[in-house]
Structure 1
């Protein structure tokens, strides 16, 4: 049995796929060429690549379809607008009176709903409450 040394070349098709992937010749390995940030490029969620392998000596080729699904990672911390609320409260404020509303968001594509909690100190324990789902701050 004879074994022939074939030189097979591979490329990604269409050419625009090279922006997000690279295919070093002769390795058969598709590698990421740059960061896949879904918040910056939501169209990267599913990318279909067509790989063409060809042997120029024997003028034959084969193709393979590769589907890449990019999964979002919770990599952006939530933020609140405004990030600081300063106010005064008269001592006659009725219990349950809404003092402020905290509005926070998460820029991750697959972000889940945020929950709110007060981190109490010695002077605020038992004096304030916050709505876990809505961020409404009330006097107790």
Structure 2
């Protein structure tokens, strides 16, 4: 019968060392992948939209009915007749102009419903008109078609 003292260390504990190393390296790889995913999600999902003053037009608040009252859910103040306000296009929620500008500088969602009030997609630049210019001067005249 062999005792642990008589066996070299790699034979006595070889199986458990190999199993531990394999489990440890697998756990390390899983942690690295998860951290990369979380980091990517945090960088891309949390970025606020471009400056709302550019893409979110303001308007004058008008009550639809005489007894209707509405409030800005950011500052909890009344939206008074004639005040400058902004309405988010995606969800139609209305806020004081300065309140929503400050909110969107730090957040990328509507404060009420969490819709993402993305700026309108910029249209691609128009295609240049067909250009029928004369051929370059360094091309011999025989090459013109």
Task: Tell me the TM-score range normalised by the shorter chain.
Answer: under 0.3
Greater percentage in helix: 2
Larger radius of gyration: 2
- TM-score of the superposition, structure 1-length normalised? 0.22
